[in-house]
Amino acid sequence: MSIDSLHYERFDKLALDFPIVFHYNCLTKGNCFKKHWHEKMEFLYFKKGNGVVVCNTKKIPVNPGVLVVVNSNEMHYVESISDCLEYYCIIVDNLLFKALHMDICEEKYINPIYHNLIIFKNCVDNDERINECIDNIIDELDLKLMGFELSVKSYIFRLMVLLLRNHSYLQLPMKEYNTRMKNLNTINNILQYIEKNYNENITVEELSEIAKFSRYYFLRLFKKTTGKSLIDYINYVRVNKAEGMLLKSDKNITEIAFSCGFNDANYFSRIFKKYKGVSPSEGKERFSENRSSELTEDPEANRTEEHIETTYKDIHGGGCEFGSTG
């Protein structure tokens, strides 16, 4: 899966009585999930393989035993650099900590954490107490024995305490938090606009006007938020769209280039090779050869893989959707 767009992630089917998302993921080499953000806290605990987690623009190398803490409203994605990167994902909504009446714990700690007034370090490595806490949470969520909800909640409180005491590094003023949220929403709207209009002539002036920022401030904010320059991002989106068309369409390379917003086939070929490592014609040829080989060797296996992928999405993707903040 490409990371050619950034999304706000909604959890429309999150259980209100026990608002935790828990699943086990395995990413193959070169694969990643889409760059996205949400208000929930997320814990990524790595068990096998090597990879990179990107939080905002910070790249974090990961291997077995590393815990990555994704703070509320941080853009993030995971990419595998080994044959199989295996990790647990635990997403916790602040509703888990809500009481009928606000107590001192919620006022002093929980609300500041979820409003980014307290921020945890993203990478937690070689902390035996935290690893033990995460292992206990995983065991409880896996086994679901009597009272597992109480146990999970107690371990999550314990985890928060350990993070607060040993791995918190910044407190954001409320003004800075509000600015950060405003900028996130603005850039998210811009990325959705690019996604819908990638085949059109998109200009800096057009986008800065939509964002209601000056050209200079908009370009700087875009780079700071996404980690890419505007032209780099737009080209990357277009190349990924073109790659999909090369694999599935009968159009020639020039037609695909123009369909994806490029007005010069030679420039398209250079940009495509920059991102994909091969020319468009080589990419199309390789896909055709690989696809023919797979279908010839075992057509039944291909149908089985498609079924497994669909089933995986049904199991793990049913509780959340990518969409707009509106």
> What is the rounded average pLDDT of the residues 254-275?
92
- Angle between helix axes 215-226 and 174-197 (nearest 10 degrees) is 90
Mean pLDDT, rounded, for 272-282: 88
Domain coordinates in residue numbering, the chain: 6-172, 176-311
Average pLDDT, the chain: 81
Residue 85 pairs with which residues in a beta bridge? Answer: 27
Q: Check residue 212 and give its pLDDT.
A: 93
Superfamily of domain 176-311: Homeodomain-like (1.10.10.60)
Confidence (pLDDT) at 140: 97
Average pLDDT, integer, range 219-223: 91
**Quick check: 98 pLDDT over 80?**
no
> Could you tell me which residue, 3 or 307, shows the higher pLDDT?
3
Q: One fold for both 6-172 and 176-311? A: no
pLDDT digits (tens, 9 = 90+) for 145-190: 999 999 999 999 999 999 999 998 766 677 777 787 788 889 888 9
Residue 12: per-residue pLDDT: 58
Spatial separation of the C-alpha atoms in residues 294 and 98, rounded to whole Å? 52
What is the model's pLDDT at position 295? 46
- Compare 319 and 245 and report the one with higher pLDDT: 245
Quick one: pLDDT at residue 322?
Answer: 30
- d(Cα 275, Cα 150) in Å, to the nearest integer? 48
Task: List C-alpha distances in Å: 268 to 23, 38, 193, 240, 272.
Answer: 39, 34, 21, 12, 6
**Cα–Cα distance for residue pair 163/263, rounded to 1 Å:** 51
The CATH-assigned architecture of domain 6-172 is: Sandwich (2.60)
